[in-house]
Protein backbone atom coordinates (compact mmCIF):
# COMPACT_ATOMS: atom_id res chain seq x y z
CA UNK A 1 0.00 0.00 0.00
CA UNK A 2 1.30 3.51 -0.84
CA UNK A 3 -0.11 7.00 -0.86
CA UNK A 4 0.76 10.58 -1.83
CA UNK A 5 -0.60 13.71 -0.20
CA UNK A 6 -0.67 17.07 -1.98
CA UNK A 7 -2.07 20.46 -1.02
CA UNK A 8 -3.27 23.28 -3.26
CA UNK A 9 -5.62 26.25 -3.49
CA UNK A 10 -8.64 26.92 -5.62
CA UNK A 11 -9.83 30.48 -5.31
CA UNK A 12 -10.02 31.31 -1.63
CA UNK A 13 -10.26 27.61 -0.58
CA UNK A 14 -7.43 25.28 0.33
CA UNK A 15 -7.55 21.86 -1.30
CA UNK A 16 -6.10 18.50 -0.35
CA UNK A 17 -5.69 15.38 -2.45
CA UNK A 18 -4.64 11.88 -1.32
CA UNK A 19 -4.00 9.14 -3.86
CA UNK A 20 -3.91 5.62 -2.39
CA UNK A 21 -2.70 2.56 -4.26
CA UNK A 22 -3.65 -0.84 -2.84
CA UNK A 23 -2.90 -4.02 -4.79
CA UNK A 24 -3.06 -2.24 -8.11
CA UNK A 25 -6.24 -0.33 -7.26
CA UNK A 26 -6.04 3.44 -6.95
CA UNK A 27 -8.29 5.56 -4.72
CA UNK A 28 -8.39 9.32 -5.26
CA UNK A 29 -9.43 11.49 -2.31
CA UNK A 30 -10.11 15.19 -2.86
CA UNK A 31 -11.30 17.72 -0.35
CA UNK A 32 -14.05 18.77 -2.73
CA UNK A 33 -15.50 15.23 -2.85
CA UNK A 34 -18.66 14.88 -0.85
CA UNK A 35 -18.48 13.44 2.65
CA UNK A 36 -20.25 10.17 1.77
CA UNK A 37 -17.67 9.45 -0.93
CA UNK A 38 -14.80 9.93 1.54
CA UNK A 39 -16.30 7.61 4.16
CA UNK A 40 -17.22 4.98 1.58
CA UNK A 41 -13.72 4.92 0.10
CA UNK A 42 -12.01 4.77 3.50
CA UNK A 43 -14.04 1.76 4.59
CA UNK A 44 -13.60 0.06 1.21
CA UNK A 45 -9.83 0.21 1.68
CA UNK A 46 -10.11 -0.83 5.34
CA UNK A 47 -12.26 -3.82 4.39
CA UNK A 48 -9.69 -4.90 1.80
CA UNK A 49 -6.82 -4.61 4.28
CA UNK A 50 -8.73 -6.63 6.87
CA UNK A 51 -9.61 -9.44 4.46
CA UNK A 52 -6.03 -9.66 3.15
CA UNK A 53 -4.45 -10.19 6.58
CA UNK A 54 -3.36 -6.58 6.97
CA UNK A 55 -5.61 -5.89 9.92
CA UNK A 56 -2.84 -4.29 11.97
CA UNK A 57 -3.40 -1.12 9.94
CA UNK A 58 -4.71 1.82 12.01
CA UNK A 59 -7.68 2.05 9.64
CA UNK A 60 -8.90 -1.28 10.94
CA UNK A 61 -7.86 -1.29 14.60
CA UNK A 62 -9.11 1.45 16.94
CA UNK A 63 -6.92 2.90 19.64
CA UNK A 64 -5.97 0.32 22.24
CA UNK A 65 -7.52 1.54 25.50
CA UNK A 66 -7.28 -1.66 27.55
CA UNK A 67 -4.35 -3.12 29.50
CA UNK A 68 -3.84 -6.11 27.21
CA UNK A 69 -2.06 -6.13 23.85
CA UNK A 70 -3.90 -6.68 20.60
CA UNK A 71 -4.11 -10.17 19.09
CA UNK A 72 -3.44 -10.98 15.47
CA UNK A 73 -5.82 -13.75 14.40
CA UNK A 74 -5.20 -15.33 10.99
CA UNK A 75 -7.67 -18.21 11.42
CA UNK A 76 -9.90 -19.00 8.48
CA UNK A 77 -13.05 -21.09 8.84
CA UNK A 78 -12.85 -24.00 6.46
CA UNK A 79 -9.52 -22.96 4.97
CA UNK A 80 -5.85 -22.52 5.73
CA UNK A 81 -4.71 -20.04 8.35
CA UNK A 82 -2.92 -16.87 7.37
CA UNK A 83 0.73 -15.95 7.78
CA UNK A 84 2.88 -13.39 9.52
CA UNK A 85 5.62 -12.37 7.09
CA UNK A 86 8.47 -10.08 8.10
CA UNK A 87 11.06 -10.65 5.38
CA UNK A 88 13.87 -8.15 5.13
CA UNK A 89 14.84 -6.74 1.76
CA UNK A 90 18.25 -7.28 0.12
CA UNK A 91 20.84 -7.52 2.87
CA UNK A 92 18.41 -6.53 5.62
CA UNK A 93 17.38 -8.59 8.62
CA UNK A 94 13.86 -9.91 9.00
CA UNK A 95 11.52 -8.62 11.68
CA UNK A 96 10.80 -10.14 15.08
CA UNK A 97 7.84 -11.70 16.81
CA UNK A 98 8.15 -10.61 20.44
CA UNK A 99 5.93 -12.06 23.16
CA UNK A 100 7.84 -10.73 26.16
CA UNK A 101 6.01 -10.17 29.41
CA UNK A 102 6.37 -7.08 31.57
CA UNK A 103 5.97 -8.28 35.14
CA UNK A 104 4.57 -11.64 34.00
CA UNK A 105 5.42 -14.57 31.75
CA UNK A 106 5.89 -14.19 28.00
CA UNK A 107 3.15 -15.00 25.51
CA UNK A 108 2.84 -17.96 23.17
CA UNK A 109 3.11 -18.66 19.46
CA UNK A 110 0.51 -21.33 18.76
CA UNK A 111 0.50 -23.29 15.50
CA UNK A 112 -1.95 -25.97 16.67
CA UNK A 113 -4.71 -27.69 14.65
CA UNK A 114 -2.72 -29.54 12.01
CA UNK A 115 0.52 -27.88 13.08
CA UNK A 116 1.90 -24.87 11.28
CA UNK A 117 5.57 -23.92 11.19
CA UNK A 118 7.76 -21.33 12.81
CA UNK A 119 10.49 -20.71 10.26
CA UNK A 120 13.64 -18.67 10.87
CA UNK A 121 15.38 -19.65 7.63
CA UNK A 122 18.27 -17.63 6.34
CA UNK A 123 18.78 -17.21 2.59
CA UNK A 124 21.73 -16.35 0.34
CA UNK A 125 24.42 -17.45 2.84
CA UNK A 126 22.79 -15.71 5.79
CA UNK A 127 22.32 -17.49 9.09
CA UNK A 128 18.90 -18.57 10.29
CA UNK A 129 17.16 -16.74 13.11
CA UNK A 130 16.67 -17.89 16.70
CA UNK A 131 13.84 -19.10 18.86
CA UNK A 132 14.74 -17.74 22.26
CA UNK A 133 13.01 -18.99 25.43
CA UNK A 134 15.60 -17.69 27.88
CA UNK A 135 14.78 -16.17 31.25
CA UNK A 136 16.43 -13.69 33.56
CA UNK A 137 17.16 -13.63 37.26
CA UNK A 138 16.17 -16.77 39.15
CA UNK A 139 13.39 -17.78 36.73
CA UNK A 140 13.61 -20.87 34.55
CA UNK A 141 13.80 -20.73 30.77
CA UNK A 142 10.83 -21.56 28.56
CA UNK A 143 10.46 -24.61 26.36
CA UNK A 144 9.58 -25.77 22.87
CA UNK A 145 6.78 -28.31 23.13
CA UNK A 146 6.23 -30.72 20.22
CA UNK A 147 4.15 -33.23 22.16
CA UNK A 148 1.05 -35.06 20.92
CA UNK A 149 -1.78 -37.03 22.50
CA UNK A 150 -2.11 -40.41 20.79
CA UNK A 151 0.03 -39.73 17.70
CA UNK A 152 3.77 -39.21 17.58
CA UNK A 153 5.17 -35.90 18.79
CA UNK A 154 6.92 -33.41 16.55
CA UNK A 155 10.64 -32.83 16.32
CA UNK A 156 13.34 -30.18 16.30
CA UNK A 157 15.39 -30.41 13.11
CA UNK A 158 18.92 -29.02 12.81
CA UNK A 159 19.69 -30.83 9.55
CA UNK A 160 21.59 -29.60 6.49
CA UNK A 161 24.74 -28.25 8.08
CA UNK A 162 24.12 -29.47 11.62
CA UNK A 163 22.83 -27.00 14.17
CA UNK A 164 22.82 -27.42 17.94
CA UNK A 165 20.36 -28.01 20.74
CA UNK A 166 21.83 -26.13 23.69
CA UNK A 167 20.46 -26.70 27.20
CA UNK A 168 22.95 -24.40 28.91
CA UNK A 169 23.34 -25.39 32.56
CA UNK A 170 22.31 -28.77 33.93
CA UNK A 171 19.93 -29.49 31.07
CA UNK A 172 18.39 -32.68 29.72
CA UNK A 173 16.73 -34.12 26.64
CA UNK A 174 13.83 -36.51 27.27
CA UNK A 175 12.31 -39.16 25.01
CA UNK A 176 8.93 -40.78 25.62
CA UNK A 177 6.01 -39.96 27.89
CA UNK A 178 5.78 -39.72 31.66
CA UNK A 179 6.45 -43.07 33.32
CA UNK A 180 8.35 -44.54 30.36
CA UNK A 181 10.66 -41.62 29.62
CA UNK A 182 14.34 -41.89 28.71
CA UNK A 183 16.29 -38.81 29.77
CA UNK A 184 19.74 -37.76 28.62
CA UNK A 185 21.21 -35.47 31.28
CA UNK A 186 24.47 -33.58 31.43
CA UNK A 187 26.24 -31.99 34.39
CA UNK A 188 29.89 -31.49 33.46
CA UNK A 189 32.42 -29.54 35.52
CA UNK A 190 33.88 -28.08 32.30
CA UNK A 191 33.30 -28.31 28.54
CA UNK A 192 33.04 -31.92 27.36
CA UNK A 193 32.54 -33.36 23.87
CA UNK A 194 31.10 -36.78 23.10
CA UNK A 195 31.50 -37.79 19.46
CA UNK A 196 29.10 -40.34 18.05
CA UNK A 197 30.69 -43.09 15.92
CA UNK A 198 30.04 -43.08 12.18
CA UNK A 199 28.03 -46.30 12.26
CA UNK A 200 24.49 -47.52 12.82
CA UNK A 201 23.72 -49.70 15.81
CA UNK A 202 22.50 -49.80 19.40
CA UNK A 203 24.17 -47.65 22.03
CA UNK A 204 25.29 -49.60 25.09
CA UNK A 205 24.67 -48.52 28.66
CA UNK A 206 27.60 -49.23 30.98
CA UNK A 207 27.19 -50.29 34.60
CA UNK A 208 30.31 -50.19 36.75
CA UNK A 209 30.96 -51.98 40.02
CA UNK A 210 33.98 -52.73 42.19
CA UNK A 211 34.90 -55.18 44.93
CA UNK A 212 37.81 -56.66 46.84
CA UNK A 213 38.02 -60.45 46.54
CA UNK A 214 40.19 -62.95 48.41
CA UNK A 215 39.93 -66.15 46.39
CA UNK A 216 40.73 -69.44 48.11
CA UNK A 217 43.68 -71.56 46.96
CA UNK A 218 43.09 -72.48 43.30
CA UNK A 219 44.47 -75.92 42.29
CA UNK A 220 46.39 -76.38 39.03
CA UNK A 221 44.23 -75.95 35.92
CA UNK A 222 41.17 -75.20 38.08
CA UNK A 223 38.87 -72.27 38.76
CA UNK A 224 37.29 -70.37 41.64
CA UNK A 225 34.32 -67.98 41.64
CA UNK A 226 33.03 -65.04 43.65
CA UNK A 227 29.69 -63.18 43.23
CA UNK A 228 29.57 -59.36 43.12
CA UNK A 229 26.34 -57.32 43.31
CA UNK A 230 25.75 -54.78 40.53
CA UNK A 231 22.16 -53.57 40.36
CA UNK A 232 20.61 -53.69 36.90
CA UNK A 233 22.54 -56.55 35.32
CA UNK A 234 20.66 -59.48 33.82
CA UNK A 235 21.61 -62.75 32.16
CA UNK A 236 23.24 -62.22 28.78
CA UNK A 237 24.92 -58.90 29.57
CA UNK A 238 28.56 -58.61 28.48
CA UNK A 239 31.05 -58.38 31.37
CA UNK A 240 34.64 -57.10 31.56
CA UNK A 241 36.66 -57.82 34.73
CA UNK A 242 39.90 -55.97 35.49
CA UNK A 243 42.21 -56.47 38.46
CA UNK A 244 43.40 -53.02 39.52
CA UNK A 245 46.22 -54.28 41.78
CA UNK A 246 49.75 -55.13 40.65
CA UNK A 247 50.38 -58.88 40.41
CA UNK A 248 53.77 -60.55 40.42
CA UNK A 249 55.17 -64.00 39.87
CA UNK A 250 52.80 -66.94 39.45
CA UNK A 251 49.83 -64.73 40.36
CA UNK A 252 49.99 -63.38 36.80
CA UNK A 253 49.03 -66.83 35.49
CA UNK A 254 45.49 -66.46 36.85
CA UNK A 255 43.01 -65.11 34.28
CA UNK A 256 39.90 -63.21 35.43
CA UNK A 257 36.61 -63.20 33.52
CA UNK A 258 33.00 -62.51 34.45
CA UNK A 259 29.46 -63.39 33.50
CA UNK A 260 25.85 -62.93 34.62
CA UNK A 261 24.14 -66.25 35.32
CA UNK A 262 20.45 -66.59 36.15
CA UNK A 263 20.44 -64.32 39.21
CA UNK A 264 19.64 -60.66 38.40
CA UNK A 265 21.91 -57.93 39.84
CA UNK A 266 24.72 -60.46 40.30
CA UNK A 267 28.00 -60.77 38.39
CA UNK A 268 30.08 -63.90 38.87
CA UNK A 269 33.83 -63.27 38.75
CA UNK A 270 35.73 -66.34 37.55
CA UNK A 271 39.44 -66.86 38.40
CA UNK A 272 41.10 -69.47 36.14
CA UNK A 273 44.50 -70.91 37.16
CA UNK A 274 46.31 -71.68 33.89
CA UNK A 275 49.47 -73.00 35.58
CA UNK A 276 50.47 -76.54 36.51
CA UNK A 277 50.58 -75.76 40.25
CA UNK A 278 48.17 -74.46 42.86
CA UNK A 279 48.07 -70.67 43.43
CA UNK A 280 46.88 -68.88 46.56
CA UNK A 281 46.12 -65.31 45.47
CA UNK A 282 46.30 -62.39 47.90
CA UNK A 283 43.26 -60.17 48.42
CA UNK A 284 42.83 -58.19 45.19
CA UNK A 285 40.76 -55.20 44.06
CA UNK A 286 38.61 -55.50 40.95
CA UNK A 287 36.65 -53.21 38.66
CA UNK A 288 33.70 -54.87 36.90
CA UNK A 289 32.16 -53.26 33.80
CA UNK A 290 28.87 -54.51 32.41
CA UNK A 291 27.70 -53.54 28.90
CA UNK A 292 23.92 -53.51 28.43
CA UNK A 293 22.12 -53.12 25.12
CA UNK A 294 23.90 -55.74 23.01
State the pLDDT at residue 60: 46
State the pLDDT at residue 63: 47
Domain covering 205-292, topology: Immunoglobulin-like (2.60.40)
Q: Where are the beta strands (DSSP E) in the chain?
A: 2-10, 13-22, 25-30, 172-175, 182-185, 205-213, 223-229, 238-243, 254-259, 266-273, 284-292
Distance of CA 251 to the CA centre of its chain: 54
H or E stretch covering 38: helix 35-51
DSSP-derived 3-state class of residue 95? coil
Give which of 11, 51, 8, 46 is closest to 27, Cα–Cα.
46
Give pLDDT tens digits for 251-269. 999 999 999 988 999 999 9
State the pLDDT at residue 212: 97
Give pLDDT tens digits for 130-148. 777 777 777 777 777 777 7
What is the pLDDT confidence band of residue 48, given thresholds at 50, 70 and 90? low
Report the length, in residues, of the chain.
Answer: 294
Q: Flag the least confident range among 58-67, 238-247, 269-278.
A: 58-67
Q: How far apart are CA 229 and CA 266, in angstroms?
A: 5
Quick check: 270 pLDDT over 70? yes
Residue 277 or 162, more confident? 277
Give pLDDT tens digits for 221-247. 999 999 999 999 999 899 999 999 999
Q: Flag the least confident range among 18-22, 196-200, 242-246, 269-273.
A: 18-22
Question: Cβ(172)–Cβ(184) under 8 Å?
Answer: yes
Please report, for the chain, the start and end positions of each structural domain, with discontinuous segments joined by +. Answer: 2-51, 205-292
Q: How far apart are CA 208 and CA 188, in angstroms?
A: 19
Amino acid sequence: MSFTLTFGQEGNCATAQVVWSVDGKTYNFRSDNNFVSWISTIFTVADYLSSSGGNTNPLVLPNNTNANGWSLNTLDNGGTGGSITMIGSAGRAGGNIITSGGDGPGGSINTSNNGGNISTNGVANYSGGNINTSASGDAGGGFIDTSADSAGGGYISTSNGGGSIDTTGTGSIGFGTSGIRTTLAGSASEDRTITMPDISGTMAVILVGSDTIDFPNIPANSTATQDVTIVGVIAGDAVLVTCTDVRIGADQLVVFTGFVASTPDTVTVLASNTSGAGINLPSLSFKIIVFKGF
